[in-house]
Amino acid sequence: MINLKYFSRETIDSLRKNVILAIAAIAVVAVSLGILGMVVMGWDMFSNMIKNTERKVGEVDVFLKDGVTEADRFALEGYIRGIAEVDPQKVTYKSKDQALEEFKTRFADNPELWQYVKENPLPASFTVMAKDPKDIGVVVSKIQNGNPVPAGIDEIKAASSAIERLENVFSKFRTIGSVVVVGLIFVAILLVSVTIQVAIFARRREVGIMKLVGATNWFIRWPFILEGVLEGIIGSIIAVFMVGLFKVYILDRLSTALPFLRMGSSSGLLYILFIAIVAGGIIIGSLGSVFALRRYLEV
């Protein structure tokens, strides 16, 4: 039988006794997990933005003139597939009708953009993926300067280098964020461990008597482990609030202010993240306790 009343009383008692250290540990747990959550949310939003932009890195759109003949279209498709730098599996055709449907779904929230359109203004197109995004210029010039010049091409558009640059910036941001988070988590574990050390020291008389009267090792350890875990949980709940506020007050406002960037978050991510943060808090807390117990509690 586990003596719940005893454990909870001892744990809370001990937390209250070194409240300042406990607050410090909780704060660092909260900040580390909070930043982790924000980096994940921000990254998710950014990658959705990239995904939603017209062209991905390494992608070329070849727009066709209206009224191009089927024969010209098949010839063009064969020609594009034959280019050495093009991935032949990733050449897809999109008809005028498909393009319009896609446009309507994408702008379902802004029906005024397409509601009053009578004739389909969107061109048919091929979407072409380069095997290596670096070769995108070669692909574009080979399509333009074929011999003979393929018929029916209206315009060729490639992913802009701006997006590529943006992606670089964000991946640096992600790397730095990860390093900071790893460092902070390390500090959080250390601080939890210090509070448990202090708790062990403060309760050394009790521990001595417990050993003497035959308390089992796990019975002695549990309140200390619970104390660390409780600090982790409290810190992670604060982190959950931080991430929630970050989402509502920053990300959501940003995407409302800049609708054309289409920065929506992946659905369900927030809840998975919340669960992961609390789990992270529990892991940080128990690791901190276990380190302290292994070093400072001889049972």
Partner 1 sequence: MIRMRRVTKVYKGKIYALEDITVDIERGEFVFLVGPSGSGKTTFIKLLIKEEEPTSGQIYIADNNISQLSKWKIPYLRRKMGCVFQDFKLLPHKTVFQNVAFALEVTNKPERLIDQQVPEVLKLVGLGHKLDAFPDELSGGEQQRVSIARAFINRPPMLLCDEPTGNVDPSLTDGIMKLLEHISASGTTIVMATHDRELVNAYRKRVIAMENGRIIRDQDRGVYGSD
The residues of the shown chain that bind partner 1, judged by CB under 8 A, are: 1, 3, 5-6, 205-206, 208-217, 219-220
Written as one letter, the residue type at 249 is Y
Residue with Cβ nearer partner 1 (71 or 299): 299
The nearest distance, CB 212 to partner 1, in angstroms, is 5
The nearest distance, CB 6 to partner 1, in angstroms, is 6
The nearest distance, CB 216 to partner 1, in angstroms, is 5
Residue with Cβ nearer partner 1 (108 or 209): 209
The nearest distance, CB 2 to partner 1, in angstroms, is 8
Residue with Cβ nearer partner 1 (160 or 217): 217
The nearest distance, CB 214 to partner 1, in angstroms, is 4
Tell me which residue of 207, 198, 280 sits closest to 24, measured CA to CA.
198
* Cβ-proximal residues to 138 (8 Å cutoff; 6+ apart), any chain: 85, 130
Encoded tokens for 113: 């953009």
Tell me which residue of 154, 124, 135, 148 sits closest to 86, measured CA to CA.
135
The per-residue b/e assignment along 135-162, b for 16 or more CB within 10 angstroms, e otherwise, is bbeebbebbeebeeebebbeebebbeee
Longest C-alpha distance within the chain, in Å? 96
Encoded tokens for 249: 């007050």
The nearest distance, CB 187 to partner 1, in angstroms, is 33
Q: Are 127 and 63 in contact (CB under 8 A)?
A: no
Residue with Cβ nearer partner 1 (204 or 253): 204
Residue with Cβ nearer partner 1 (214 or 268): 214
State whether residue 93 is helix, strand or coil: strand
Strand 86-94 relative to strand 59-64, pairing: unpaired
Backbone angles phi, psi at 246, to 5 degrees: -60, -40
Residue with Cβ nearer partner 1 (182 or 299): 299
